[in-house]
A and B are shown apart, each in its own frame.
Chain A
């Protein structure tokens, strides 16, 4: 067993990537996450690799079942994404992706808040290069916004950690209670990265602007790291149920009217995080298992959908619903894998989404939360609507756009195929998968009632979609952007700044002018008396001094004489 954080394998491995070329580099990059994955299975629970720092002890490697399942899926996803991006020889992206994924793994194994903060920030900085690697002005600006927000989330985490250390004397990353300043700041830091409502827009803003492979990388790590952090630190925090329910519902409205299909998936990712956050908020063993299981499965099927849309972007040069359609003729395999991803995210029985999402919904009903449960049910129907139907329908079917391209490269197909197989295997044999979860599972997803209910929900949603499309009520895909909360900082903030300058600019200038005038008056005054010609600064000759002394003595003499 190793006694260093397993993510370091990817981080230090990344340093060697630029020195390797061709096949050697490909094999090396594929091997790194696979070694990491094997090592995860050798890890024994416990705290290792402790480093003393300023009177505190950093635990850079804390191994338990919760950390391990995230380590496992992070390494698996890294291996699959390396395979998916194998055709791309851009060393910048390769190095950035390995450092990014490695730091996400190391953050998962962090046993204290300072170690968590360090890897949290490294992952933020490394990941922005996957956006900038698109090398367009638009991507540069989106990346800048992403970086500011991600680093900001780390700043909240660090500030929270310092207050927490001052209050409790401990920097351990364990279960927190919301209430103190420290834990509140940590909660906000996690919330930003988890794309809580109103803190969410960096996700939809930045992810679709990244490169073909970059978006797949991003979809795996950043937000799931936040889910892990919430599961570790704030399990059973009731407010998370409501935050999660809102998160699951509001993005689906935007997803329906969004034209960029990778942005549709970004909204869908936000909605999926909502399910996980609800599970964490409920906090029972079943709910936490559900949240973790859903994070695990989501990484695969959401990644698969992002891979399919990446393949479309790679071949057709666009992922806008308004310009696509009929691509199943050119890219039948990609279409097939996309449908598997769509069926999984929609939680069709026999696919991974079904056996993982059920845990959360069941836990929610066991605890009697009716309204959040109804909201999640609505969100489940909605996710089928926009991710399950809309994505494959507008990209691969709908009206034939006439675009004829080659099928995706072999490595993309291989990555999609393996991911699709994993989605189905997990769906078919849930009991084996459940043994990986943090707590023991006693749950049977395949009951007659559950399967029928799920089919009713999904197929009647499909019926609604069909009816709306056929009657022309369904909003057509249009070249457009939709305002979301980011309008506050992309338009509102600059307007506010301009208004501020307009209002306070004249006052500021007036005040400066008045100050300047006053200053000048004072300087002139001083100059008059103390300047070279001033009465108090003039140099006087010895002769005139003698003259004045004599004059004084004469005056004294006159006064003395007259007083008698």
Chain B
């Protein structure tokens, strides 16, 4: 813990994630894994009880599209729901 504190105080230590190139590496790794998962859909037997589950890469597409929709709708909701932080504070 002491070493750790010293490092913090000196402010010298660079962490692996501080380098934007390393962050890019993680993003590319995610893209590669997603690519693999997308095509993995052709290599197992599907037993889903709903017909939609049998669409190619249904879960992948559903996850991506719905998350984008979620964020964009939530962002739009801000336009009429967002208030200043002290909105509910009493006036006095």
Q: Chain A residues in contact with chain B, CB under 8 A?
A: 138, 252-254, 256-257, 328-330, 365-366, 368, 370, 373-374, 377-378, 381-382, 385, 397, 400, 404, 406-407, 448-449, 452-468, 470, 473-475, 478-484, 490-491
Tell me whether A461 and B67 are in contact (CB under 8 A). yes
Chain B facing A: main interface SS? helix
Ranked 4 nearest A-B pairs via Cβ = A464-B67, A256-B74, A460-B63, A456-B60
| CB-defined A-B contacts under 8 Å, sample of 9 | A257-B74, A365-B50, A373-B50, A382-B67, A449-B47, A463-B31, A465-B71, A481-B83, A482-B83
* Of B30, B74, B89, most A-chain CB atoms within 10 Å: B74
Q: How large is the interface on B (under 10, 10 to 19, 20 to 34, 35 or more residues)?
A: 35 or more
A116 to B42, CA, bound (A): 53
Tell me whether A365 and B49 are in contact (CB under 8 A). yes
User: Chain A contacts of B5 at CB under 8 A?
Assistant: 406
A474 to B50, CA, bound (A): 32
Tell me whether B37 and A459 are in contact (CB under 8 A). yes
User: Chain B contacts of A378 at CB under 8 A?
Assistant: 62, 66, 70
* Of B31, B64, B80, most A-chain CB atoms within 10 Å: B64
Report the minimum CB–CB distance from B72 to chain A (whole Å): 7
A455 to B44, CA, bound (A): 14
Tell me whether A460 and B81 are in contact (CB under 8 A). no
Tell me whether B59 and A453 are in contact (CB under 8 A). yes
Q: Is B19 an interface residue (CB 8 A)?
A: no
Task: Closest B residue to A450 by CB, please name it.
Answer: B47
User: Chain B contacts of A406 at CB under 8 A?
Assistant: 1, 5
Tell me whether B71 and A385 are in contact (CB under 8 A). yes
Known: A381-B66, A397-B17, A456-B57. A448 touches B41 (CB 8 A): no
User: Chain B contacts of A474 at CB under 8 A?
Assistant: 71
Tell me whether A475 and B64 are in contact (CB under 8 A). no
Q: Which of B45, B59, B67, B85 contacts A385 (CB 8 A)?
A: B67
Tell me whether A257 and B78 are in contact (CB under 8 A). yes
Q: Is B25 an interface residue (CB 8 A)?
A: no
User: Chain A contacts of B1 at CB under 8 A?
Assistant: 406-407
Q: Which of B15, B44, B64 contacts A464 (CB 8 A)?
A: B64
User: Chain A contacts of B62 at CB under 8 A?
Assistant: 377-378, 381, 457
Tell me whether B88 and A480 are in contact (CB under 8 A). no
A70 to B72, CA, bound (A): 39
Known: A464-B64, A479-B85. A456 touches B59 (CB 8 A): yes
Tell me whether B8 and A330 are in contact (CB under 8 A). yes
Known: A257-B78, A406-B5. A456 touches B49 (CB 8 A): no
Tell me whether B83 and A461 are in contact (CB under 8 A). no
User: Chain B contacts of A373 at CB under 8 A?
Assistant: 50
Tell me whether A253 and B45 are in contact (CB under 8 A). no
Q: Which of B41, B46, B83 contacts A480 (CB 8 A)?
A: B83
Tell me whether A449 and B67 are in contact (CB under 8 A). no
Task: Closest A residue to B38 by CB, please name it.
Answer: A456
User: Chain A contacts of B80 at CB under 8 A?
Assistant: 483
Q: Tell me which residues from 14 to 73 in chain B have a Cβ below 8 Å from any Cβ of chain A.
A: 15, 17-18, 27, 30-31, 33-34, 37-38, 40-41, 44-50, 52-53, 57, 59-64, 66-68, 70-73
User: Chain B contacts of A385 at CB under 8 A?
Assistant: 67, 70-71
User: Chain A contacts of B17 at CB under 8 A?
Assistant: 328, 397
User: Chain A contacts of B87 at CB under 8 A?
Assistant: 481, 483
User: Chain B contacts of A460 at CB under 8 A?
Assistant: 34, 37, 59-61, 63-64, 67
User: Chain A contacts of B27 at CB under 8 A?
Assistant: 466, 470
User: Chain A contacts of B71 at CB under 8 A?
Assistant: 256, 385, 464-465, 468, 473-475
Report the minimum CB–CB distance from A38 to chain B (whole Å): 35
A455 to B38, CA, bound (A): 10
Tell me whether A481 and B77 are in contact (CB under 8 A). no
A421 to B28, CA, bound (A): 30
* Of B9, B31, B49, B73, most A-chain CB atoms within 10 Å: B49
A460 to B41, CA, bound (A): 13
Report the minimum CB–CB distance from A502 to chain B (whole Å): 18
Tell me whether B75 and A257 are in contact (CB under 8 A). yes
Tell me whether B30 and A475 are in contact (CB under 8 A). no
Report the minimum CB–CB distance from A384 to chain B (whole Å): 8
User: Chain A contacts of B48 at CB under 8 A?
Assistant: 365, 449
Tell me whether A473 and B50 are in contact (CB under 8 A). no
Tell me whether B77 and A257 are in contact (CB under 8 A). yes
User: Chain A contacts of B84 at CB under 8 A?
Assistant: 480-481
Tell me whether A483 and B83 are in contact (CB under 8 A). yes
A483 to B59, CA, bound (A): 32
User: Chain B contacts of A138 at CB under 8 A?
Assistant: 89
A459 to B31, CA, bound (A): 9
A404 to B41, CA, bound (A): 45
Tell me whether A452 and B40 are in contact (CB under 8 A). yes
Report the minimum CB–CB distance from A187 to chain B (whole Å): 29
